[in-house]
Every structure is written in C-alpha cells, then in structure tokens.
Amino acid sequence: MGAENFMKEIEKLNELVFNYAGLNIKRFFNLDSKVYEEGVLSKKIKELMGLVASMVLRCDDCISYHLIRCHEEKVSDRELEEAVSIALMVGGSITIPHIRKAFRFWSELKEE
C-alpha cells in the first residue's frame, strides 16, 4: 500500500489501541515520539537511526514508518543507502527481504 494509506491504517489502529490502553501504554507511546525530536542530533539523523534499528530487528511496519519520516526530513537516496548498508552488514542476509521492501516503499514515497 502507498504511504498515505499506510499512515491512515496506523492512525486507525492507534485509536483502537487507545481504547484499551491504560496510562502506562499511553505514556509509552508518548515517550516513543519524544526520542526522535530535534536535539544535539537532528531529527533526520534520529529517523535514520530508528530505521537502522528497525531493519536489524526486521520489522516491516517500523521500517515503513521511519522511511516516511526520513522522506519528510529530506533524507537523500545516498544517505539512505549508507544507512541501509550498515543495517545489512550488522544484521546479515536475513535482513535482505526487508531491505527489498524498504527500497520499493522508498520508490513509492518519492513518486507520490
């Protein structure tokens, strides 16, 4: 699915989560957004870090989310490629199927 549908789906599911979530889960989600805020490291670099972490842990949805954010932060193709190289090297060939999908999603993001 495209980036827009992906984000709509996430928002719909987040609403569902918040119907069940108590204070701890809500705080966790809130904290999750805070660590990517501008600091001594830029938002762009932090999103690339989130991407590398998601790739070595092999979570497609997490990868897609960080790719959307990377695109918003004007990450270039070459910056993306260098970050992916690190993820591939650290995580091994088991990450390849996720990296394939990542570049497809990235291509779609650039066309939108």
What does the binding site for a second copy look like in residue numbers (CB under 8 A)? 10, 13-14, 16-17, 19-25, 27-29, 31-32, 34-36, 39-41, 45-46, 48-50, 52-54, 56-62, 76-97, 99-101, 103-104, 106-107
**CA triplet 52, 68, 105: central angle to 5 degrees?**
80
Q: Which is nearer to a second copy, 1 or 16 (CB)?
A: 16
Nearest distance, CB of residue 82 and a second copy, angstroms: 5
Nearest distance, CB of residue 103 and a second copy, angstroms: 5
Q: At what angle do helices 77-91 and 43-56 cross, to 10 degrees?
A: 30
Which residue carries 């972490």 as its tokens? 53
CB distance 63 to 55 below 8 Å: yes
26's tokens:
């809500």
Q: Which is nearer to a second copy, 21 or 71 (CB)?
A: 21
Nearest distance, CB of residue 71 and a second copy, angstroms: 14
Q: In whole angstroms, what is the distance from residue 2 CA to residue 88 CA?
A: 24
Nearest distance, CB of residue 70 and a second copy, angstroms: 12
